[in-house]
Structure 1
């Protein structure tokens, strides 16, 4: 579970990038976080993951305060950033073992997980190659595999489907559903409304740092009098005031 309470973040003391945000992402659900570029999505994710501190309010991950107990809180989640261009000099298998070492994953357990993940993402024949030789989609897959190596209860994914081929995107969406159905939490940002509509149990729409809506897509559509498309509803909620 992710619990965000009265969280505010500003840069240089100017306009709030996130303004008094209150949000609860429950166990057992896939939660989509929607908003235009600059709406506050990335700032929120940076605070949830402990990359940035909030100015006020609290963020709890499975009941653990990310600001007060950062190391303990960070063991609860796996984070896929929006760019997979990292550790390019390492071979795929070296990167996965590095991530497993960070989270103290036992040798036998990590071997089993690496085998299962690499097979599922069709990466087993590329693990001996350096990441810099990978395509963008392959880099995205190796980062996702590294994130999942310690089997975290909370997945935090920033535009995770970008660059993935259709088969890999389908597999990741399938894994997200399996993870949530097992009683865990999936939080992911996306600007692809079609993906949100097909995958998410609930969504949050943020604009100018404020949460404009939080609920199911059916609830969102029921709030609109005319039978409008999700895209038009989203554009209406996030238009400039």
Structure 2
């Protein structure tokens, strides 16, 4: 394992009834890296991130964030990372500004600091004009952006993001990308899950490919893909195949 890792996963295992979802995986995310966790739908990405953030208890294994065990020392660990879960559920009867204030005060932050950071985040994410609008009335892209603002409000060292670009319009996507790239450039670490290889290839320095709850390949993205596009490596490792759609001859 990497000595200075932002996130360390050791022997992580989870089953639902008799169905294995994550099968004894081990992984190290280098500090300061932009790390992509990729895999087809049902590969175990969301389950893995849910265990890493303390939202789902593993059957076995350990997770550490900068050396702090997520399950044995959850209070310390959760001050270090920020989370944007897939299918984000927020208190949507609050405005964007109110939601950030609530999140900050819930974390015990000083109100003045919360106000200052909220203003900066709303401006950076292009939400200043909607800060007094109910989150329930936000578009999908705006909801992702206010979720990211909540994840970053307490100045975490690590962001754990589950499908942050899913259902997001190109303008919002570009804004989120720039924010995350600046976060990493200033020393932060990001783990994002995705099944869109082009996004991961453009953003990430490291990647892990999951398939059926296991890690099929992991490392610096240049090493994993070699001389091939990442998508070709991904399809080969997960056993996918393409065809010409000839079996749908009735669509004429």
Given the two structures, how large is their TM-score scaled by the length of structure 2?
0.88
2: CA distance between counterparts of 1:204 and 1:133?
A: 36
| Alignment-derived partner of residue 114 in structure 1 | 118
Q: Is the 8 A contact 1:27 1:180 kept in 2?
A: no
Number of aligned residues? 235
2: CA distance between counterparts of 1:123 and 1:178?
A: 18
1:66 maps to which of 67, 70, 76: 70
2: CA distance between counterparts of 1:138 and 1:190?
A: 19
| Alignment-derived partner of residue 184 in structure 1 | 188
| Alignment-derived partner of residue 11 in structure 2 | 6
1:132-164 alpha-carbon deviations (Å, 9 max, x no partner) = 111111111111111111111110001111233
1:32-77 alpha-carbon deviations (Å, 9 max, x no partner) = 0000111110110110011111111110011111111222211111
200-209 or 155-164: which moved more? 155-164
| Alignment-derived partner of residue 231 in structure 2 | 231
Unaligned runs of 5+ in 2: 1-5, 241-252
| Alignment-derived partner of residue 172 in structure 2 | 168
Unaligned runs of 5+ in 1: none
2: CA distance between counterparts of 1:140 and 1:180?
A: 19
113-122 or 201-210: which moved more? 113-122
Q: Is the 8 A contact 2:145 2:176 kept in 1?
A: no
Q: Is the 8 A contact 2:142 2:172 kept in 1?
A: no
2: CA distance between counterparts of 1:94 and 1:217?
A: 39
1:22 maps to 2:26: yes
Q: Is the 8 A contact 1:85 1:139 kept in 2?
A: no
Q: Is the 8 A contact 2:12 2:61 kept in 1?
A: yes
Q: CA RMSD in A?
A: 1.5
2:37 maps to which of 8, 16, 33: 33
| Alignment-derived partner of residue 83 in structure 2 | 79
1:69-120 alpha-carbon deviations (Å, 9 max, x no partner) = 2222111111001123421111111111111012222122222211111111
